[in-house]
Structure 1
Amino acid sequence: MPFLGQDWRSPGQSWVKTEEGWKKTTADEKNNNNNYNNNNVSVESFCKEEEEKEEKEEECFNKENLPLSLNYDMAARKRKKDQMNNNAKLPYFHREKWIYVHKGSTKERHGYCTLGEAFNRLDFCSAIKETRRFNYVVRLLELIAKSQLPSLSGVAQKNYMNILERVVQKVLDDQQNVRPIKELLQTLYDSLCGLVQDMGKSVLVGNLATWLRRMESILQWQQQLDCIQIRRPTSTGMTLTELPASLHLNIMQRLTDGRDLVSLGQVCPSLGVLAEDRLLWKRLCHYHFTDRQIRKRLMVSDKGHLEWKKMYCKLSRCYPHREEYSETLHFCTHCHILFWKDTNHPCTANNPEGCTMALSPQDFINLFNF
């Protein structure tokens, strides 16, 4: 860079702030200021002496009341620590319910966001309260428990456990979706049992005591879910078993999980007969699996009929089920913004709807695999 001054050995220019603004000071003004400072030395020394006297008096008072001051300081610190611990589980609220996520080879990222920040910015704590988003969030937590635990930062771990605690509490209050949450907790516990053994290799972020406390919390949640008792409705209306067989069959056709169909068939003998209907299991097989997968696992009975129920059980062990959610997260390919469908984001494209794409839980995790 070129030097713009007249002489590099010059002491520089002095500026003084006045009511009209900053002004340069000349040599005469510098001397006047120095003389004024010399005249005021006595005033400054007098002020310093007074301050020293006050400090000595405060020290004497503190020495006399030292036990009281120590107790006061310890109580204040304890209150501050308790307040921080109580507020640790409260999520941060943001005005914008969307995040900027950009996957590219550039070294700089505008609005860089991690997975832990995404939990707060996308407001997952409120998403689990909505029925349309509940299954999506649960599936996302399950995928993270299976493969993403070692990559979670400390903030992401805390947010993950806070959301999981809210999910368990919601299930205990509503008495719905008990089985998926049990499976989620069991998956998380099994993953932690395998990872905690390798703590010496720095597999998980954080100390061992913290993860052991979290595992104890998971066991407590499992016990609470095992002890849950479904409350019977107080209304004296018509029950499920009193409905006609046509409505029973219509209800079974809307189930997408074979385990729900088996559980419903155990309610009464009439429902058990309907649960063995071959057309119901055939519908489930074609809903979750492709024709090519079905042809590979054909099972024929002695009478020459296809065993659709056995085929469904075998296909479920070999291939993943089809995933459909009432509401999912969306990603704008033009703005690189991740948002819920009912949350408007500042899109600059001419056709915003053509740039958005629905994300599955696995696609959401892949966005943060930088």
Structure 2
Amino acid sequence: MSEFPVVAKGEEQEHVGAKGGSAPFWHTVTAGGRRLRLRVKRDAALGGRPYLWPSVGEYPLYDDFLYHVMLEDEPRNKIFRDAIEARAPHARVLEVGCGPDLLWSLYAAECGARSVRAIESIPDSARRATELAAKKPQFDIEVLSGEATTVAVPERAGVCVAELVGSIGGAEGMAAVLDDVRERLLTPGAAVIPAVVGTLAAAVGLQELLEGEFAVDVDFSDYVAEVLACAGGPFDLRMCVGNVDRSALRSSEGLVEDLQLEEGVARFPAVRLDITRPGPVDGLLLWLTMRCTPDGPVLDSLETVTNWLPVYVPFDAPEPVEAAPGDVLALECAVRPAADGLHPEYTFTGALVRADGRRMPLSAHSPYAGGPFRASPLHRALFAEEA
């Protein structure tokens, strides 16, 4: 990435472009007792440009802004409403992760649910949800504060609404949580909403998409610091990419995570991604597909504007790799729990197989917390240690 003249600005070092326009600059953030410099810019998403956003859903740092974004996500809301309307009447309903607004618990009650139990792990959100439930005495809604894997309910539920869906479908630990909930809190054969969550992958060239300008909008910098703090210190955190669609892809797409949540089945298939457009490839783009009922409509986060942004996972290669039609990216996906035993970490290993048979080994890793810091070209561009 090209460098710019530096102008001191308090705790920031602002870069000014040759024409005097806005350009990336360094902003100081603190994580795990370490002061880091984060490369930021202003109005990163202006004009519909691709931009970087930290993946925050895996961590307990939801605030009013993030809750508001979800409440305003109509494509997501519609498929959840339709599934609840079909399954909640006369049923005992359990919601996992209700947030402060009790959105789906209230909707299930309005649709005629026999009773609703709502679990929320963030104490302040649970308190606000409890206060809201008390204002609706016509409904049998009880809010339970704590982790879904530890709370108990007075009776098992026949319907579970669990919006623990990440930008990588299973990133928030949904599979592990529902395995426990299914065993302890649900009736045999209970309906789960959503029913099917998948993650698709394709090859991309992020450096080209961002025109070589790796930086986070300065308004997002607090979220970067909070993710690093939740994780216990600096590491190569997941970064999402906004304002992209299938025109950004350089390959065919393949399913790398398949969560059949009603059945309790999780698969992580190997993929063969055929290069479809010539140019540099430096990582994978992962995005969500979801059905709230087994035969319901599919929400695809690369086709629909939704709060689930695609995630970029950089290859371990020091430089982008030139690829061309006829080349094939063959990868296996391995998933293991993070140190907390709940959140998954994803590793992709394989090779770019040239049309003439030559193989270039490639790998990529997407951790939940810990591990190397500034190991990928993206993270080396975004971060610098404070002197």
Does TM, scored on the shorter chain, surpass 0.5? no
Task: Determine which structure has the larger strand proportion and give its number.
Answer: 2
TM-score normalised by L of structure 2: 0.23
TM-score normalised by L of structure 1: 0.24
Bigger-Rg structure (1/2)? 1
